[in-house]
């Protein structure tokens, strides 16, 4: 009993300590929120120290991560960065702009292109923009190419790989474990199921992926060439070894010789250069007067504009019900649109889509809310970001006009589902499974002995029914026949340029072009004022945001460490794939040709296999 009492005292002590910590965090955060004021902005260099990724809608910090102090990769809202740069052009306090890209983790070719255009606007206004990194890869160099000066650490390199890479395939492992992937799909090019049914890519999937990668590489080259026309990017990418040999084996000198970078220098030299542009200040880090991004945004950003053009964001995986930022909850987004429609001040709607798809039910819920705007004679323009595929394209069909960038990934009009069964696993373990039925669907889908022919037929029929509905929706939107859409559908993924040629999008342009088109349709003249239809963060989310801060996980700055995926990232991908196949009866969404990070959500919940079957769109 003494031992038990001792253990109990320890548990009570731990509990009391945790309560005390939480209370201290709560009141400390409350005090910080009430007493914090943006520091005054003085003349200097606006520093964009991007330690993370660019995204349309940053996700909320997890409570457990905040308590444990886990860093995670920070996410920067694209529109905030663009607003900061556009304001800096005419802000006399900003003497120049610095892009610190040592820990930059990318954000998609389209988003980086939009941000790069904002950087270039600063440069053409006459204000210098300087970029620095130890290693430039595809994403960081695309952004840096828009700068006036590109600096590289003497021990660094420009390592441009281009689109491409390998995916993991689990057919051999599943055979060894006795797991059967029962696949139901429509679409010759629906490669999402192949990791569970093959040990390599099918010829159709490889041809589609190769065409997409080639198109993305071409648009990347065009962007860099427009920003930095004298850089020998094509020759450097085609034969980096020759460039290296021509510079005596020095990676930094090879980049300078190819005019990819302007200066080789340690960070101290880079900061000394910034001091000549923004003024010297020995009291600040690096000895130059700097303007922090967070402080600058707090000073210049209008977080609650009330213009006549509403903007709603559909970002991340589309899921049923409600979801926090970073995932597109069908009910959450639909209610935001419906709330905006109740305000007579909204005269037009722009829907910004950056999603690889998800639930068909949630996608349709959002589409119907958008159609509600059109029913009220409010014009709707769709603006596609990095990805608007599958369910993302389903949502886009509700617009009067669809705008995309050449590097946007779209299409993927197809449906699939995967149900794992474990009859082989049970046989290997010597375990039997038996029971009784009262109807052909009793106990179905049977994950122990495999789905019955009747259950399999019904699941396949459900998948085919959703596909026919998808074709009909797209055909009506694009003024084509379902047969014409089927010819370019079948799950195939397209780049924005090809999608425009096929009639899946109406024109090229980013968010600004979509806003201008919406203003034109609404006959607003030169009015371009916007309002953001965003979900207000809860107190708990705001509280956690206080403690998430600007910390980020340490990023590799060595050139080739930055070029290669981290082993833990590859393991995370493998574990996520395993969870998808072992998750039980569900129709899953996965676009291997869409290079975006899917943010999973628990918003879907457990709704049974029939609801889930009808719920997921690939």
Q: How many Cβ atoms sit within 10 Å of the Cβ of residue 278?
A: 25
Asked if residues 85 and 196 have their Cβ atoms less than 8 Å apart, the reply is no
Domains and CATH numbers, the chain: 44-165+212-300 (3.90.226.10), 309-432+443-556+594-615 (3.90.226.10)
Query: Which has the closest alpha carbon to 270: 256, 251, 292, 287?
Result: 287
pLDDT over 70 at 548, yes or no:
no
CA 176/CA 154 separation, integer angstroms: 49
Compute the CA torsion angle 325, 329, 332, 334 (nearest 10 deg): 130
pLDDT over 50 at 101, yes or no:
yes
Q: Please compute the mean of the pLDDT values over residues 279-289 and round it to a whole number.
A: 72
pLDDT in tens, 203-236: 988 898 899 999 999 999 999 999 999 999 999 9
Which residues, listed in sequence order, are joined to residue 329 by a DSSP beta bridge?
319
Give the tokens for residue 12: 């009570």
CA 57/CA 67 separation, integer angstroms: 23
Compute the CA torsion angle 455, 459, 465, 470 (nearest 10 deg): 180
Would you state the pLDDT for residue 42?
Answer: 85
Instruction: State CA 574 to chain mean position distance.
Output: 19
Q: Which of 34-38, 299-303, 491-495 has the lowest average pLDDT?
A: 34-38
Give the β-pairing of 493-495 and 409-411.
Answer: antiparallel
Compute the CA torsion angle 21, 22, 28, 34 (nearest 10 deg): 180
pLDDT over 80 at 281, yes or no:
no
Would you state the pLDDT for residue 267?
Answer: 93
Give the best-scoring range by mean pLDDT among 438-452, 506-520, 535-549.
506-520
pLDDT in tens, 412-422: 998 888 888 88
Asked if residues 597 and 59 have their Cβ atoms less than 8 Å apart, the reply is no
Query: Which helix or strand (DSSP H or E) is residue 418 part of?
Result: strand 415-421
Asked if residues 142 and 237 have their Cβ atoms less than 8 Å apart, the reply is no
CA 529/CA 306 separation, integer angstroms: 7
pLDDT over 80 at 562, yes or no:
no
pLDDT band at 404 (very low <50, low <70, confident <90, very high): very high
pLDDT in tens, 122-171: 999 999 999 999 999 999 999 999 999 999 999 999 999 899 888 888 89
- Residue in the structure block whose two tokens are 């099918």: 202
pLDDT in tens, 19-66: 666 666 655 555 555 445 556 788 999 999 999 999 999 886 555 454
Residues assigned a catalytic role: 190, 390
Query: Which has the closest alpha carbon to 403: 435, 381, 428, 374?
Result: 381
Give the best-scoring range by mean pLDDT among 19-23, 69-73, 289-293.
289-293
Share of the chain above pLDDT 70, in %: 77
114: Cβ contacts below 8 Å, ≥ 6 apart: 78, 82, 405, 510, 511
CA 48/CA 46 separation, integer angstroms: 7
Would you state the pLDDT for residue 5?
Answer: 67
Evaluate if pTM is beyond 0.95.
no
Following DSSP, what letter does each residue of 460-472 receive, concatenated? HHHHHHHHHHHHH
Give the tokens for residue 237: 């990418």
Q: Which of 179-193, 274-288, 457-471, 567-581 has the lowest average pLDDT?
A: 567-581
Following DSSP, what letter does each residue of 132-198 receive, concatenated? EEEEE-HHHHHHHTTSSEEEEEEEEEE----S-------HHHHHHHT-EEEEEEE-TT-GGGHHHH-
Which residues, listed in sequence order, are joined to residue 184 by a DSSP beta bridge?
417
Please report the sign of the dihedral spanned by the C-alpha atoms of residue 313, residue 465, residue 584, residue 187.
negative
Which DSSP state fits 485? H
Instruction: State CA 231 to chain mean position distance.
Output: 29
């Amino acid at each position: 009993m003494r031992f038990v009492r001792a253990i109990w005292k320890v548990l009570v002590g731990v509990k009391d300590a945790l309560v005390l910590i939480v209370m201290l965090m709560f009141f400390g955060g409350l005090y910080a929120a009430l007493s914090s004021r943006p520091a005054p902005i003085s003349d200097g260099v606006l520093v964009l120290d991007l330690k993370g990724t660019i995204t349309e809608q940053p996700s909320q910090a997890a409570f457990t991560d905040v308590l444990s102090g886990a860093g995670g990769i920070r996410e920067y809202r694209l529109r905030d960065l663009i607003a900061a740069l556009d304001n800096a052009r005419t802000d006399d306090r900003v003497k120049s702009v610095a892009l610190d890209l040592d820990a930059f983790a990318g954000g998609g070719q389209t988003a980086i292109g939009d941000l790069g255009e904002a950087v270039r606007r600063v440069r053409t206004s006459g204000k210098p923009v300087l970029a620095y990194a130890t290693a430039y890869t595809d994403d960081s160099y695309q952004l840096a190419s828009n700068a006036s000066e590109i600096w590289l650490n003497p021990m660094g390199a420009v390592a441009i790989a281009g689109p491409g890479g390998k995916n993991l395939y689990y057919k051999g492992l599943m055979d060894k474990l006795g797991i059967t992937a029962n696949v139901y799909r429509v679409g010759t090019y629906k490669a999402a199921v192949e990791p569970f049914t093959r040990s390599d890519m099918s010829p159709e999937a490889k041809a589609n992926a190769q065409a997409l990668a080639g198109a993305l590489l071409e648009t990347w080259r065009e962007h860099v060439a427009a920003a930095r026309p004298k850089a020998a990017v094509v020759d450097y990418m085609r034969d980096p070894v020759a460039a290296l040999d021509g510079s005596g084996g020095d990676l930094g000198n090879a980049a300078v010789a190819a005019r990819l970078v302007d200066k080789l220098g340690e960070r101290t030299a880079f900061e000394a250069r910034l001091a000549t542009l923004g003024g010297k200040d020995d009291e600040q880090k690096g000895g130059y007067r700097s303007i922090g991004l967070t402080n600058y945004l707090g000073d210049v950003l209008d977080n609650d504009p009330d213009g006549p053009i509403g903007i709603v964001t559909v970002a991340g995986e589309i899921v049923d019900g409600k979801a926090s930022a970073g995932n597109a909850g069908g009910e959450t987004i639909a209610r935001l649109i419906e709330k905006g429609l109740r305000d007579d001040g909204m005269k037009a709607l722009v829907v910004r889509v950056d999603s690889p798809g998800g639930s068909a039910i949630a996608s349709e819920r959002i589409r119907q809310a958008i159609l509600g705007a059109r029913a009220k004679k409010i014009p709707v323009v769709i603006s596609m970001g990095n990805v608007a595929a599958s369910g993302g394209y389903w949502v886009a069909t509700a617009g009067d006009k669809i705008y995309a960038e050449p590097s946007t990934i779209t299409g993927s009009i197809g449906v699939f589902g995967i149900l794992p069964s474990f009859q082989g696993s049970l046989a290997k373990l010597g375990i039997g499974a038996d029971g009784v039925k009262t109807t052909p669907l009793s106990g179905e889908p049977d994950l122990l002995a495999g789905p019955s022919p009747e259950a399999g037929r019904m699941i396949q029929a459900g998948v085919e029914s959703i596909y026919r509905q998808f074709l009909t929706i797209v055909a009506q939107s694009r003024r084509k026949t379902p047969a014409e859409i089927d010819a370019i559908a079948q799950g195939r993924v397209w780049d924005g340029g090809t999608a425009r040629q096929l009639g899946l999008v109406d024109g090229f342009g980013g968010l600004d072009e979509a806003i201008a088109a919406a203003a034109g349709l609404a006959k607003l003249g030169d009015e371009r004022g916007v309002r953001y239809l965003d979900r207000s963060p809860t107190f708990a989310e705001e509280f956690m945001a206080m403690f998430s801060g600007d910390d980020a996980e340490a990023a590799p700055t060595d050139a080739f460490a930055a070029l290669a995926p981290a082993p833990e990232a590859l393991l995370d991908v493998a574990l996520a794939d395993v969870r998808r196949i072992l998750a039980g009866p569900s129709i899953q969404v996965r676009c291997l040709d869409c290079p975006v990070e899917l943010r999973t959500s628990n918003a879907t919940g457990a709704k049974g296999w029939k609801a889930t079957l009808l719920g997921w769109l690939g």
